[in-house]
Structure formats: structure tokens, C-alpha cells
Amino acid sequence: MTDTAGRPVANFETLFHQAPCGYLITDDDGHITAVNDTFVRWTGYGRAKLLGMKLQSLMPVGDQILYATHCIPQLGITGSVSEIAVDIIGSDGVRRPALLSASRFAATGQEPDSVRVIIFSAHERRLYEKELVSALRAAEESDARRALAEEELQRLALHDALTGLPNRAGLKARVGSIPAGAATDSPGEGNPLAALFIDLDHFKAVNDSLGHGAGDNLLVSVAGRLASAVQAPGAVARLSGDEFVVVDAVAGTEEAAALAARLLEVLAAPIHLEDLEIVTSASIGIAVAQGGDDTVEDLIRRADIAMYRAKERGRNRWELHRPAPSDPAVDRLRALGELRRGIGEGALRVHYQPRIDLHTGRASGVEALVRWQHPTRGLLPPSEFIAMAEESGLVRPLGAWVLDETLKLAESLRRDDRQGAGLEFAVNLSARQLNDPGLVDMVESALERRNMDPALLLLEITETALMSDPVAAVESLTALKNLGVGLAVDDFGTGYSSLTYLKKFPINELKIDRSFIMGLGLDTGDAAIVGSCIDLAHAVGIRAVAEGVETSGQAQTLQDMGCDLAQGYLFARPLTERRLREWLASHTWARP
């Protein structure tokens, strides 16, 4: 054999037979008409056996189906297929992973149609692809599982496990969006909302004498009666223990009172428990929206006050809450003036609550909590004034001050002695601060001023604040994250409990709301929620923190559930700077 210039060239037949992969020629149906030595050696069949055999018959059935439905038509239409993954079964019965490429040549003169096939051994590559595909499938499955978990958590978070009624969060989700004063587009057709706060009389006696099982049965039965006495869109919820709330649109106070009377009647029918006939009664407080901007929460709070009056006045009755005559606008202005003055005069304090690492039992850091030393009302917690500070914009200077105070303490602890090294400092951010364009600069300059390692600062944002403007929140959080500070979601479980944002926001920590921790050991529903939250945090690779831990039983349960950090009265109350130093000193045994 020679090339075009007449020089001898390599023997093409040798090239065919000794090629590093299998070469075959088949007819359109796959019957093998020629095969090279490499393929013969690789498969272990004799050449005579292979000739005339269908190439597909060397493949497992699954590959044959794919070959018949996909490759043959494609070969027929386009004339080629490339790198189809198939298994070739050798004479030893062992499958050999391979890649198959083929081209079809139409008949010319004497030559009939033929297909030229190349088969590469592809063991490594197929193994690799197999791993990729199974990883892909696993990811798809875990996505599906996470969606289920989210649904379940949502349900748990919004419902009371014992009675199946909505809990406080569930009630809020259902009626919270309706302005209580003028429910114009609600089915109440412009009627105001009323809240009826229902507390069973002498429920504790049932629990004490008949046991918790009987008490639970009683609650379930009461829940059923209330639910069937209130028609949609009215809502019935169980807040805790023997406290229920009904929220419904009413024409006025008379209708609300009539509803309360009907509920008392429904509850008065005897209930059979463990062969005993029990007659229950309840005390009901009623609050009807006055117009203006009452929220459902306000209504429930007022109804609660009225309920206590019903108890005082002899139980088994209802009382209407009548707000004391005052001008709320004037009250608000006065309070705001006091707060502004308080900030100016140094009446604000920062207290610090230690956070305990449940794995080691040691203090891992502290949470900074602001307090207002009010001239007449005493030491006020943030819940009494932060909302006002938010509305007025005072929260910005206040927040900056709290952060600086905290970092100042961090700096001094670090300088003073061994106590401070490695302690984490958690500081709360409000919704308004989160939306403040100056926030990131403020944090950055505070870090620089106090020479603080950003990794030891943790900023806590409530779930509700995050969700008020999620797009802006992602932006702010990402910028904060880039500074190197840690981020925590506070009060988790009280708002949307959406896992979607857990993935979206660059957070490091989930703080489970204290209301769920309180129920540990008392309420299986709460235990399920806490467990889910912890699992959830770990599933997305972040820490779970419990707040409001008050008993060693709760701490033990949390530890068993794998919770990472905890804080609460069990370990320490929020402490002044001086008391914190003492506390740390007396707990230094716990720090190496």
C-alpha cells in the first residue's frame, strides 16, 4: 500500500485491527459484518461467533430498548450517533461500560448500506457519571423532603398539636392581616372585629385530681365545642393551657356579648371524662375594635384584661373591656419625649445575658439587651419602648449606641483578662435599622473603632423584620456578611417559618422562639417544633440556639435534641456589666 506520492504507508488492516478501541461494521439492523481484534479480545468472544450476530444483542435489555427507540432512528435520519453510553456483555457475562459512536454510509454501487461503529471502553468515565447522576437524584430527593418538612413545620408552627386549633401564630396568620377596626373586605362586611378571651374556670383542679390525660381530653372537648359554635370566617384558637380566643366580626358590643353568652351556654353542658360527668364553666373577656388602628393583638390583650375582671367578679360570666378615656396621640407624644430625653440623659442601659454552649457547658458569648431606666415606671424591657423608637426613627441612634457600648465592653474584657478572649457578642437589629442605608457603614466603623474581630460579632434580626422586605434584607445582610460578622434569625417560628429564606439569607444561626422552649416537657407539639427547628438549622448547616431556657429539664431535652447554644434564667439573667464580669469570673473554671 502506498500514499499518493508512491511511498509505502502503514498497513491499514493492521491499523484497523490494532486500534486502541473496538471497530465494527454492521448492516442497518446491527448484524456485524466485520470486527477488529481489539473488540474480539476485549469481549472474549470468538470472531466467528460475533460475525452475523446483532451488535445490540451484546447489550443488556435496557440498552437494547434505548438503542431501538433512539439510536437506530437517529442513525437512520441523521446518519450518526455519538458517545451513547451502553454496556457490552462479554463472553464471561460481565458488563463492560462503553461509549458507542456510529456513522451510517448509504449504499454505493456494489456496497450495501453499512454502519461503522467505534466502541470505547469507558469504565472510569461511566463510574464518574454514575456518581454525578446519583448525587443529582439525591439532591432532588432531599429537595422534595425539605419541602415536606417545611410544610409540616408550617403546620406545626401554626397549630396547637393537642386540639388541632390554630395557636397564637396561626390565629395571627389567619386574621392578622385584617384591620380590626374596619374589616371592609372581610366577610363581616365592614363590621368591626371582636376578640373573646376564654379561660376555663378551675381547670387546674381537673388536672390535679384526674391527671393530665383527663385535662387534655377536657381541652379537646372544649376546643370541639367552641369550634362548632363559631361559624367561618370567625376563628377559634388555643393560646396556651386552658386559654382560648375567638375572633369574629360583630355588628357591635351587643352581638359580641350575645356570642359570649352563647359560648358560656355551649360550655356549660356536662362533659363525660373517665366515667365522670364534669360541668365546666369559663370566664370570658370581650374587646371590640374601636376603629382607629387597633390590631388583633391589641384586641386580644384588652380581652385578656377583661377576662381577669370576669374572674374577679365570680367566674362563669363575661365582661366587656372598656378602654379608659384618654387620648392615645397625646400619650404617645409624651412617651416619645420621655424616651428621647432618656437617651440624651443616659437612662438607657445595656444588659448582657450569657449564652451557653450546650456541647461543652461553657459560656460562649453574651447577648446585649437594652433596658430603659424609666423615671416613674422602673426598668423597662425593650418590648416597652422599641416599637416606639422604631416608629419615630429614634432606633437608629439607639441601635448605634447599643452596638458601640457592647463592642466597648468586648474591648475592655479582652484587654482586662483571659475572660473576654473568644467570647461572642450578639446585638439585636430592628427592622428599621435593617432598611437603613447607613447601617453597614455604622457597623463597620464601630468594629474599627473598638478594634473588634468581626467574626465575634453576631447581629440578630427577627423573622418578622426579615420578611417585611426580603429583597432589601438580602442586600443588607449580604453586605454585613461581607464585613465578616455573623447573622442570626431571632424569634424563629413565630413568623413565616419559611425554609426558603433560610436558604436565601446568608445566616449563621437560628434562634428558636422562647414560647416553644417554654412548652418543652409540657406540650408534645412544642417539642416537635423545637426538634424540627434544630434539624432544620443543621440541615442548612447553621447553629440552633434556644432562648428562654428556665429549667434543667428543658436544657437536657435541648441537649438531647442536639441544640448548639442556649440562654435563659437557668444559666443567667441579663446582667449589668459589673455583674457580668463577676459571673464570668466565677465561671472561669469552665473556660480553659
Partner 1 sequence: MLGELTAETVANRNNVTTLGRADGPVMVFAHGYGCDQDMWRRLVPYFAKDYRVVLFDHVGAGHSDLEAYDREKYGALDGYATDVLEICEALDLADVVLVGHSVSAMIALLAAAREPERFARLILVAPSPRYTDDADDGYVGGFSDEDIQGLLESLDSNYFAWADALAPMAMGNPGTPEYAEELRSSICRTNPSIARHFARVTFLSDTRHVLPQVQCDSLILQCTDDLLAPAAVGSYVHRQLSHSSLVQLMATGHCPHVSAPEATAAAILHYLNPRP
The helix or strand, by DSSP H or E, that contains position 109, with its residue range, turns out to be none
Nearest distance from residue 263's CB to partner 1, in Å?
Answer: 44
Binding marks (x or -) toward partner 1, 25..64, rule CB under 8 A? Answer: ---xx--------------------------x---xxxxx
Q: What is the 3-state secondary structure (H, E, C) of 13-58?
A: HHHHHHCCCEEEEECCCCEEEEECHHHHHHHCCCHHHHCCCEHHHH
> Do 434 and 473 touch, CB atoms closer than 8 A?
yes
> Do 407 and 442 touch, CB atoms closer than 8 A?
no
Nearest distance from residue 86's CB to partner 1, in Å?
Answer: 7
Residue 522 three-state SS = coil
Residue 107 three-state SS = coil
Contacts of 127 (CB under 8 A, 6+ apart): 97
Distance of alpha carbon 125 from alpha carbon 132, whole angstroms: 11
Burial annotation 105-136 (CB, 10 A radius, 16+ → b, else e)? eeeeeeeeebbebbbebbeeebeeeeeeeeee
- Quick one: 30 or 519, whose CB is closer to partner 1? 30
Distance of alpha carbon 323 from alpha carbon 303, whole angstroms: 11
Residue 192 three-state SS = coil
Nearest distance from residue 145's CB to partner 1, in Å?
Answer: 17
Q: Could you please report the per-residue DSSP string of 261-276?
A: HHHHHHHHS-EEETTE
The helix or strand, by DSSP H or E, that contains position 489, with its residue range, turns out to be strand 486-492
Length of the chain measured in residues: 592
Closest CA to 171 of 199, 137, 197: 197
The Cα angle at residue 443 between residues 442 and 448, in degrees rounded to 5: 100
Nearest distance from residue 106's CB to partner 1, in Å?
Answer: 6
- Quick one: 21 or 343, whose CB is closer to partner 1? 21
Within 10 Å of residue 451's Cβ, how many Cβ atoms? 11
Task: Please identify, among the stretches 130-138, 229-237, 264-272, 477-485, the one whose residues bind partner 1 according to the rule CB under 8 A.
Answer: 130-138
> Cell 378615656, residue?
325
Nearest distance from residue 69's CB to partner 1, in Å?
Answer: 3
Distance of alpha carbon 563 from alpha carbon 535, whole angstroms: 9
Q: Map the footprint of partner 1 across residues 325-354, applying CB under 8 A.
A: none
Kindly state the cell numbers that stand for 330: 397625646
Pick from 14, 18, 78, 184 the residue near partner 1 by CB under 8 A: 78
Task: Please identify, among the stretches 13-21, 76-84, 180-188, 353-361, the one whose residues bind partner 1 according to the rule CB under 8 A.
Answer: 76-84
- Quick one: 104 or 514, whose CB is closer to partner 1? 104
- Quick one: 4 or 108, whose CB is closer to partner 1? 108
Q: Name the phi and psi angles at 176, rounded to 5.
A: -60, -25
- Quick one: 54 or 315, whose CB is closer to partner 1? 54
Q: Map the footprint of partner 1 across residues 81-110, applying CB under 8 A.
A: 81-87, 97, 101, 103-106
Pick from 24, 72, 156, 544 the residue near partner 1 by CB under 8 A: 72
Nearest distance from residue 123's CB to partner 1, in Å?
Answer: 12
Q: Map the footprint of partner 1 across residues 533-592, applying CB under 8 A.
A: none
Nearest distance from residue 53's CB to partner 1, in Å?
Answer: 14
- Quick one: 67 or 385, whose CB is closer to partner 1? 67
Nearest distance from residue 84's CB to partner 1, in Å?
Answer: 6
Nearest distance from residue 135's CB to partner 1, in Å?
Answer: 11
> Do 181 and 293 touch, CB atoms closer than 8 A?
yes
> Do 162 and 523 touch, CB atoms closer than 8 A?
yes
- Quick one: 63 or 201, whose CB is closer to partner 1? 63
Within 10 Å of residue 373's Cβ, how many Cβ atoms? 14
> Do 206 and 218 touch, CB atoms closer than 8 A?
yes
Q: Is 70 in the site for partner 1 (CB under 8 A)?
A: yes
Nearest distance from residue 524's CB to partner 1, in Å?
Answer: 35
Pick from 14, 33, 80, 445 the residue near partner 1 by CB under 8 A: 80
Nearest distance from residue 97's CB to partner 1, in Å?
Answer: 8
In the DSSP assignment, the letter for residue 494 is S
Q: Would strands 80-89 and 95-105 be described as parallel, antiparallel, or unpaired? A: antiparallel
- Quick one: 28 or 444, whose CB is closer to partner 1? 28
- Quick one: 85 or 278, whose CB is closer to partner 1? 85
Pick from 41, 47, 130, 332 the residue near partner 1 by CB under 8 A: 130
Distance of alpha carbon 16 from alpha carbon 8, whole angstroms: 17
Nearest distance from residue 64's CB to partner 1, in Å?
Answer: 6
Pick from 77, 279, 329, 471 the residue near partner 1 by CB under 8 A: 77
- Quick one: 84 or 483, whose CB is closer to partner 1? 84
Residue 531 three-state SS = helix
- Quick one: 135 or 379, whose CB is closer to partner 1? 135
Q: Map the footprint of partner 1 across residues 132-161, applying CB under 8 A.
A: 132-133, 136
Pick from 44, 46, 73, 252 the residue near partner 1 by CB under 8 A: 73
Residue 159 three-state SS = strand
Q: Is 291 in the site for partner 1 (CB under 8 A)?
A: no
Number of residues that bind partner 1 (CB under 8 A): 41
> Do 192 and 181 touch, CB atoms closer than 8 A?
yes
Q: Is 528 in the site for partner 1 (CB under 8 A)?
A: no
- Quick one: 65 or 205, whose CB is closer to partner 1? 65
Task: Please identify, among the stretches 72-80, 161-169, 343-351, 400-408, the one whose residues bind partner 1 according to the rule CB under 8 A.
Answer: 72-80
> Do 87 and 58 touch, CB atoms closer than 8 A?
no
- Quick one: 72 or 236, whose CB is closer to partner 1? 72
- Quick one: 60 or 164, whose CB is closer to partner 1? 60
Interacting residue ranges for partner 1, rule: CB under 8 A: 28-29, 56, 60-66, 68-70, 72-74, 76-87, 97, 101, 103-106, 116, 126, 129-130, 132-133, 136
